[in-house]
Amino acid sequence: MGKTDILESTIESNNLSDLESLHIDYEKLQGRGGAFLISPVDKGKVFSREQFSEDHKMFDQAAKEYGENRLLEVREELNVLNKDLSLDIFKEMGELGFLSTDVPEEYGGLALDKTTSCIIVDALSSGRNASMLVTASAHTGIGMLPIVWYGNSDQKAKYLPKMASGEWMGCYALTESGAGSDALSGAATAELNDEGTHYLLNGTKIFVTNGAWADVAVTFASVNGKYTAFILDKNCDGWVVGEEEKKMGIKGSSTVTFFYENCKVPVENVLGKVGDGGPIAFNVLYVGRYKLGVTTAGGSKYIIEGALEYATEREQFSRSIKKFGMVQRKFANMVARVWEGDSINYMITGSIDSALAEVDKSADNYFDIVQKTIEDHGIEASISKIVGSETLAYCTDEGLQIFGGNGFIEEYPMACAYRDERINRIFEGTNEINRLLIGGTVMKKAILEEIPLRDAIAHRMENWLPELNISDDEPLFLEARAIEYCRSFMLFCLHESILKYGQDLKNEQWVVEPFANMVIALAIMDTGFKRYNQLDSGDHKDNTLQVLSLSVADQYDSIIKNGLDIVNYLFTGEKHQEKVDIINKWQAATGYTPNRINSQKAIVATLYTHNKYYLN
């Protein structure tokens, strides 16, 4: 009997008396990836920026001031390829410690938590320059982490001090013309020379960020069919750097093609072991995804500010266009989306930091534990990347619309922002690939019982609206019930999809995509409510309530639409009507009717009072 058969038969065999004996210890799920899938809104906690430590706030302030006082002053110069200025900025970031948060102290780093690492790139968004953030993020993430995690002591001693300080820049060369999302199908090869001293690499890597400026590259090739990672030094013979690509956006960053023509790489530059290339290639991408979520959500705040400044000054029909309801709706929606991204991002870093808090950093297997913990949060990392990139896309598009015809003119900042944002839904894994990862990983966690999804499904099949330890007087009590309904609906769709397809579900993209959308919407609602519920009474909590109420309304609609798409596809005839009746019965029992317009009006009134994004 296969794992999916066990999952199906166990759930189907549970009756009400069995359910009474089932118990899920939600406290034990703290720091576990995917916990939000099953933990009710009154159970468990999430980390958010309201819980930043004094050290967190110090780094936030330092990076924000650097962005405003240094990057913002030269952002136009950084919007075009400007190697000398970019390298000067890069080295300054190294001197300030912005590049070394993930590097061990013995190699010149700060060895700080994941939250601090994300706070820095978030705050640097104040410089309003995507190209420089791409340059720095590619270095600190995919360029350097493979060496931090997989390098031996000699490799770390050679590369990390200079990379942490900004003296050397790193890059990551994985993609090939015939191997994009399917990276392991790459054609690059590496053969050991007759002397056994060097591997000779042959092949081509494309879209290499930082490529023309890098001193060090982490790259990949097959050794007798075994996918393997290598560290390249700039002085490796046969490493040929192509011309700069002429890109649609992020024009100030370096993007080139690498040509390996019998490129001589010393045998000691194999990263990990021969054949370890797959895990090395993919594990670092988790960090790249949630950091991209942070930078895109962070950048969206400044899109709001720019659009609001323009709308205040722009007059039509004898009044500022910010007084028109349609423009106000745009701003309200932008604020809600940015808050959603911010909530997701620090929920992830807080959960990872919580899981690693008691781990001995001096232990030989410390980075093995770090990798496994981050991989365990793979669902959240993909959600962060999707939510952040799609938030920035939405805000930039609406921001340009507020600018009207001027938004289409290059001398106004929205045109550059519009071009720059588009890449974010493509790199670090396209948003389509990340949706597949979300669906596939949820299914894997269910089948392997990494978290008690099976028990949660069994509970929810009998009662879609479990009793919550939340007072009836709570202003968002009905929103809490709506979230629990959505959690049950998501689990219902997972259950029915596994029953129909078993392990082949991961290949059913017509189902996986709407299911992933349900998971994303649930993560946003669950995280947002828990963030709100932890706040002390006062103006900040009242302002958060307005945004959360709109967020729940939006994500509730997304759950309903995507869930019905799945059910309408899976079933026909009487069986279909039976399932729809169940869905409708529990939906009616929530008592929830969103008042989206009232929430939007309240949000925009608060935004106009503060004259900027106000939930930091």
Residues of the chain with pLDDT under 70: 1-22
pLDDT of residue 410: 94
Residues 257 and 363 in one domain: no
The residues annotated as belonging to the active site are 428
103-150 pLDDT, tens digit each: 999 999 999 999 999 999 999 999 999 999 999 999 999 999 999 999
pLDDT of residue 183: 74
End-to-end CA distance of the chain: 52
Other residues' Cβ atoms within 10 Å of the Cβ of residue 64: 20
Instruction: Supply angle C-alpha 577, 580, 581, rounded to 5.
Output: 85
Residues 165 and 176 in one domain: no
Residues 377 and 509 in one domain: yes
pLDDT of residue 14: 43
Residues 125 and 244 in one domain: no
pLDDT of residue 1: 42
Angle between helices 539-570 and 509-533 (to 10 degrees): 160
Q: How many structural domains are present in the chain?
A: 3
pLDDT of residue 311: 97
Q: Which domain holds residue 90?
A: 50-170
519-571 pLDDT, tens digit each: 999 999 999 999 999 999 999 999 999 999 999 999 999 999 999 999 999 99
Q: Is 274 helix (H, G, I), strand (E, B) or coil?
A: coil
Q: Domain with 351 in it: what CATH number?
A: 1.20.140.10
Q: Cα 160 to chain center, whole Å?
A: 25
Q: Which of 274, 309, 334 delimits the end of a domain?
A: 274
Q: Which of 274, 301, 326 delimits the end of a domain?
A: 274
Interacting residues of 476 by C-beta distance below 8 A, sequence separation 6+: 529, 532, 545, 548, 549, 552
| Nearest partner of 230 among 215, 213, 241, 217, judged by Cα | 217
pLDDT of residue 184: 78
Residues 236 and 346 in one domain: no
Q: Domain with 163 in it: what CATH number?
A: 1.10.540.10
pLDDT of residue 22: 57
Q: What average pLDDT does the chain have?
A: 94
Q: Which of 274, 295, 329 delimits the end of a domain?
A: 274
Asked if 481 and 466 count as a contact pair (C-beta separation under 8 A), the reply is no
pTM for this structure? 0.95
| Nearest partner of 542 among 552, 551, 534, 532, judged by Cα | 532
